Amino acid sequence: MNAENTAVVTGAATGIGRAIAERLAADGAHVVVADIADGSETVARIEEAGGSAEFREADVTDEDAMRSLFARLDLDVLVNNAAYYAPLVTDKKRFDEISAEEWDTVLAVNAKGTFLASKHALDAFDDGGSIVNISSSVVTMGVPGFLHYVASKGAVLAMTRAMAAEVGDIGVRVNAVMPGFTWSEASQQAGDEYLEDYVDNQDLDRVVEPEDIAGVVSFLAGPDSGVMTGQAINADPGLSYY
């Protein structure tokens, strides 16, 4: 990527989203930090490192907001990272204890948000481009305790394949990253013991950091993955095979 490329990263105020925004900026793109929370710190970090970025407040569940976000943008990369996750880390429950309202909240952000952002980004791709969706390795593992989250990330994976089949003819590639348990502001609420248990079950004895996921996104967003579409890359140090 270069200074003429524009990348939108949703949910980029903190965590994995921030790391992705910083990495794409380091790759040379102008990054639009899109989040319902204040993303000014992410922008400041990018600019301090010599990159180019701007913050736009945006709710991925609001279609008008998504329409406005992508209006008048000449887009090259969209990363659908925004997710409802942090409140679920310490509130695990069996699926029969999940309320309809809780289900709707999670699916609205994780699945509907990915759909709406992709829908309105499509017209902003002037000459092809790349959509990278953030799914999760929980889709392949059936992790208990938050069925609504697992279902939402399964929907993201399914949409990745269906989108890829529909937009390849206009030069837009659509791929997904499936992170394992990543040590970020949100996941740290689970505690050190939970992290240690996860690492013990991985083939690689290491913690996944947001920057690790950002590296995979950088690959899928850039020219080195130019022949890839409809694919998902599992990034969970061997916790599952996909």
pTM of the model: 0.93
Which has more confidence, 17 or 205?
Answer: 17
Query: Between the CA atoms of 131, 161, 235 and 33, what dihedral angle is there, to the nearest 10 degrees?
Result: 20
Distance CA(205)–CA(120), nearest Å, equals: 41
**Residue 149 annotated among the catalytic residues of the structure:** yes
Residue 232 clears pLDDT 90, i.e. is over it: yes
Least confident residue range of 36-50, 72-86, 192-206: 192-206
* Complete edge-to-edge strand list for the sheet that includes strand 52-57: 52-57, 30-35, 6-10, 75-80, 125-134, 172-179, 232-235
Give the mean pLDDT of the chain: 92
Residue (of 7, 14, 129, 140) closest to 80 by Cα position: 7
Phi, psi of 159 (to 5 degrees): -65, -35
CB contact at 8 A, 16 and 214: yes
Over residues 115-146, the pLDDT tens digits come to 999 999 999 999 999 999 999 988 998 888 99
Please report the pLDDT score of residue 185 as a whole number.
66
Q: Which of 17-26, 136-145, 147-156, 214-223 has the lowest mean pLDDT?
A: 136-145
Domain segments of the chain as ranges: 6-235
3-state DSSP call for residue 130? Answer: strand
* Active-site pick, 149, 194, 198, 242: 149
Which residue, 10, 43, 35, is CA-closest to 131? 10
The pLDDT of residue 51 is above 70: yes
Flag whether pLDDT at 220 surpasses 80. Answer: yes
In CATH, what number does 6-235 get?
A: 3.40.50.720
Give the Cα separation of 12 and 44 in Å (integer).
Answer: 12
Per-residue confidence at 157, pLDDT binned at 50, 70, 90? very high
